[in-house]
Amino acid sequence: MNSKGVGSIAWRIFLLAGVFTVVGAAQRENVKSSYSNMAPLDQYLMPDRPTEISLARSAAPAAISDHATILVLTPHGYDTAIEGDNGFTCMVERAWMSPVDNLEFWNPKNRSPVCYNPPATRSIVPFTIKTTELALMHQSKTQIFERIQALVASHDLPTPEPGAMSYMMSKSGYLNDEVGHWHPHLMFHIPKTVPASWGANLPGSPVLLDTTRRAEPDTIFMVPVAHWSDGTPAAVP
């Protein structure tokens, strides 16, 4: 991939992560106004379990997701809808898993299918479960961020296990208003490190780095892939 292609992907990643440096002030104000507070809970919930299970499974190829544990969101947090047998966990995350400075943190349209491998199930999924619990308690963005930081500092939430990674290969998700479902990609959850350790964001490198402000103790490296989870080809962003 040439440097122009990497630059284009990195720009879209920054949009995905909430760094809206190229939009106008009026548009930023509109987004800020639209999602300044949590919407009514029913806007974050999906109409039925089968629909959410199907969307969760679309995060990864069927050979993985058909045998994964599936979590679905309820008014009280995530619930196990299906118990898997391969150690993977698939779920549909909501916008409050975005960085704290993301203007779409409370966007009720967000549906982010993700499937975590066994190390990530043990060490990354707990952050989703706890953050969701705090959001459903109507905690503010700042309160959520500070609480997660405190739980990390007290070792009540884990650091990423070696080999922790996740699949985001669904073409049916909706990540945010700027990029829609973006592009199929893999995410690698590494204890805090520097971009150079993976050659991230360098010309010709397929590895991208999420550089936004996060409470979680991980560095997330992203690698776009050529196909959606159903095997159909994906256009290069």
Tens-digit pLDDT profile for residues 185-216: 999 999 988 888 899 999 999 999 876 778 89
Q: What is the mean pLDDT of residues 129-154?
A: 97
- Kindly tell me if the per-residue pLDDT of 108 is higher than 80: yes
Helix (H) or strand (E) holding 72: strand 69-74
The per-residue pLDDT for 178 is 83
Amino acid at residue number 232: T
Q: What is the mean pLDDT of residues 41-57?
A: 97
Under DSSP, the state recorded for 31 is: H
The per-residue pLDDT for 33 is 54
Please give the residue that has the higher pLDDT: either 116 or 236. Answer: 116
Distance (Å, whole) CA 164 – CA 162: 6
Q: What is the mean pLDDT of residues 167-192?
A: 91
Could you tell me the pTM of the whole model?
0.85
C-alpha distance from residue 136 to each of 45, 49, 74, 100, 225 (Å) = 11, 19, 10, 16, 33
pLDDT band at 111 (very low <50, low <70, confident <90, very high): very high
- Kindly tell me if the per-residue pLDDT of 5 is higher than 90: no
Question: Euclidean distance between the first and final Cα of the chain, in Å?
Answer: 11
On average, the pLDDT of the chain sits at: 87
The per-residue pLDDT for 220 is 93
Q: What percent of the chain has pLDDT over 90?
A: 73
Q: What is the pLDDT of residues 6-28, one digit of tens each?
A: 444 443 444 444 433 334 444 44
pLDDT band at 181 (very low <50, low <70, confident <90, very high): confident
- Kindly tell me if the per-residue pLDDT of 133 is higher than 70: yes
> Lowest-confidence range among 8-22, 71-85, 115-129?
8-22
Give the residue from 184, 183, 181, 189 showing the smallest Cα distance to 221: 189
The per-residue pLDDT for 68 is 98
